[in-house]
Amino acid sequence: MSPVSLLLSDKAKARFDAFSDGVFAIVITLLVLELHIPTGREHLASELGSEWPRYLGYFVSFAFIGGVWIAHSTISHFIKAVDATLMRLNLVLLLFVSLLPFTTGTMAAHLFTSVLPLDHLTEPQPAFGPERLAVVLFGVNLTLAALMTYLVIRHVDKTDELAATDRVEEELRGFKRGRGTAVVLQALATVVGVFVPLAAVVVYLGLSVFFFVDPLWIERVRRRVGSHKT
Q: Are 176 and 157 in contact (CB under 8 A)?
A: yes
Position 118 scores a pLDDT of 43
CA 19 to chain centre: 17
Inter-CA distances, 217 with 9, 16, 162, 174, 204, Å:
32, 26, 26, 14, 20
Segment (H or E) for 160? none
Mean pLDDT, the chain, whole residue set: 84
Could you tell me the pLDDT band of residue 174, with boundaries at 50, 70 and 90? confident
Confidence of residue 30 (pLDDT cuts 50, 70, 90): very high
- pLDDT of res. 135: 96
- CA neighbor of 211 nearest in space, from 52, 66, 7: 66
pLDDT in tens, 116-139: 444 444 555 445 789 999 999 999
Whether pLDDT at 182 is above 80: yes
**Residue 103 confidence (pLDDT):** 97
Give the predicted TM-score (pTM) of the model.
Answer: 0.85
Calculate the alpha carbon distances from 83 to 2, 17, 42, 159, 214 in Å. Answer: 10, 13, 58, 9, 28
- Rounded to an integer, what is the distance from CA 5 to the centroid of its chain? 28
Q: What percent of the chain has pLDDT over 70?
A: 80
In angstroms, rounded to a whole number, what is the distance separating the alpha carbons of residues 176 and 182?
10
